[in-house]
Chains A and B, each alone.
Chain A
């Protein structure tokens, strides 16, 4: 008789996998709207993970995180960025440093390495959930890769928010023991939002035509 096996595919794990997969779509797309839709999708997925991870008895952290993921990450930030790209008629990413196909291959490799590393950690009996950890590491590394290979300033901001999302997932992995960390994660998001999107996108767009990182070469030796 075959012994029953606990299936690793449950709701939470599926969400984490979907979360990591969003970066594949970002890697192979050049459309700004696609990036922003993925940002909203990540926000919604993080909301779902937060519901599972944070105990409602910790009322303050719970409400803080729900507001952060559902209101800010899923609705407000994507809507604002969508408005910015439409107002400034930014539809596509400028010619990226490497073709999208290669980007997709590299992001796939990054994701594989992230998850393999996380599962290796589980083998060494480290206190982490491999899917949480792997998903977070993959998204963080993929976001850094997007920052390095894309040229539009707005893409850099979007990729920075992807990076924040990865860090947020990482902070959720220790949420049970240290809710303080999650609050700090929320602060990081607010900081990024206020500073990057709120103030400087507008300024950069009014002062630098083309909105490419290439136009920021006035200061050099």
Chain B
């Protein structure tokens, strides 16, 4: 059955972005366009959760991508609401005037993410991954300036190499499909899964590391994570929030889908071992760099690398580990989006991203200070946040595999928690360095509500996972062949 929701989801942002381009003098209209699309997106996601449908074979809603679509919808609404506050208050006039560009590229970026998530063909997924790089690069470059340019350059260059690796992986996979004993196999995920055992295992083994490196680059997995701290630090806070909470998820779905083919082909041990190695490397790098971090947005970026590492480790364990990894993706997206949105408020108050320059946040703005602390508690996976449940589950599953790996895992997490905690405490405590410079800066409700809602959802999920979400997670694990 052909769906109307998938084309609605994919075509609406294109139409809205083009409209904004034509009517840019009507400045506030683009804000409402983004809000309108975020609501349409949520409606379409809920519809697709209930009715898994296909659009012209190339796009399909299934048990796996609907979870990611829902997360994208929730984060997108929060970012759309927060953008009202961010671009209309406490910003330089030139940035407010150019905010229509941000909205155009935000819409196009979300569109490309929808494409990645819904693609039922590996080539199509790859094309949308390219598009997401193009549009998110323009978001990273929003503030122009030398630092933004440097960050954008690194982002573009490293991601381009990653995309090239993914393409090499697709070519090697296609050689395996030709060489298989069952004749030619198409590159649709369903065909790859159904015929996984017929694909030449040699080429499948050759293709997987390239695909993992390619998708892993966008996901922020080590050793290809170099772009992430620069890009996150230089882009506007709402853009960072949506990139950190959704782009990495979209790339992760590529890893999951390829891993499923490997599992179906009986090569799960090989692919899971590689995933686990990359996962532990992604824990090691932030454990080293977070202690040296002088910029709070870069600190959060390293935290994203860490969480992607946790997710990779959970996925590599499989079964309950995969369930926990998917739950962790949800929790991380909610908390990290809130954390980055709040970093926008802190930047407005202190006009600096340096940790040293931000002191006495509790005295300057108690609401922002408490949101900052709550985000820290959530990102470090303390109860009652959902991240606690997911990390605990991953540790439990890892313990069943290897005690040594579990100890390494826990030590690295402790180092990272110490690194973030030390900086967060130094930022909220003490006295502000320039007490008068923060006076007169007020945030409208849109500057707080999205973070409160996101963190509230992460707490609620930590206390009670609704049955519909539990079913979705269980179905996703089953879908993955676990």
**A187: nearest residue on chain B (CB-CB)?**
B127
The verdict on A216 contacting B150 (CB below 8 Å), with A128-B175, A184-B126, A195-B156 known, is: yes
Q: Is A122 an interface residue (CB 8 A)?
A: no
Does B175 contact A180, Cβ atoms closer than 8 Å? no
Q: Which residue of B127, B163, B168 contacts A140 across the interface (Cβ within 8 Å)?
A: B168
**Majority SS at the chain A contact face:** helix
Are A208 and B146 in touch, CB under 8 angstroms?
A: yes
Q: In the complex, A218→B292 CA distance in Å?
A: 16
Q: Which residue of A lies closest to B126 (CB)?
A: A184
Bound state CA distance, A67 and B63, in angstroms?
A: 41
B130 at the interface (CB under 8 A from A): yes
A188 at interface by CB-CB < 8 Å:
yes
B-chain residues with CB within 8 Å of residue A167 when the two chains form the complex: 164, 167-168, 171
Measured between beta carbons, the chain B residues less than 8 angstroms from A203 are 149
Q: Report the minimum CB–CB distance from A155 to chain B (whole Å).
A: 12
Most central of B130, B161, B175, B203 by chain A CB within 10 Å: B175
A185 near B: Cβ within 8 Å? yes
The CA-CA distance from A216 to B137 in the complex, in Å, is 17
Interface string of A132-171 (1 = CB under 8 A from B): 0000000010001001000001001000100110010011
The verdict on A181 contacting chain B, using a C-beta distance below 8 Å, is yes
Given the interface contacts A178-B174, A191-B130, does A127 sit within 8 Å of B179 by beta carbon?
A: yes
Q: Given the interface contacts A185-B167, A187-B127, A188-B130, does A174 sit within 8 Å of B174 by beta carbon?
A: yes
Interface size bracket, B side: 35 or more
Q: Smallest CB-CB separation from B203: which chain A residue?
A: A126
B62 CB–A CB distance under 8 Å: no
What is the minimal beta-carbon distance from B207 to any residue of chain A, in angstroms? 12
Q: How far is the CB of B217 from chain A (nearest CB, A)?
A: 14
Residues on A with C-beta less than 8 A from B161 are: 144, 147, 160, 163
Q: Closest residue of chain B to A192, judged by CB?
A: B160
Q: Does A57 touch B at the CB level, under 8 Å?
A: no
User: B112: CB under 8 A from chain A?
Assistant: no
* B68 → chain A closest CB, angstroms: 23
Task: Give the A-binding residues of B (Cβ under 8 A).
Answer: 123, 126-127, 130, 133-134, 137, 146-147, 149-154, 156-157, 160-161, 163-164, 167-168, 170-171, 174-175, 177-179, 184, 187, 200, 202-203, 229-230, 233-234, 289, 292-295, 298
26 inter-chain pairs at a CB distance below 8 angstroms, sorted by A residue, are A127-B178, A147-B161, A160-B164, A163-B164, A167-B167, A170-B168, A174-B175, A177-B184, A178-B187, A180-B187, A181-B170, A184-B126, A185-B167, A187-B127, A188-B167, A191-B130, A194-B134, A195-B133, A195-B134, A200-B149, A200-B153, A204-B149, A218-B147, A221-B229, A221-B294, A221-B298
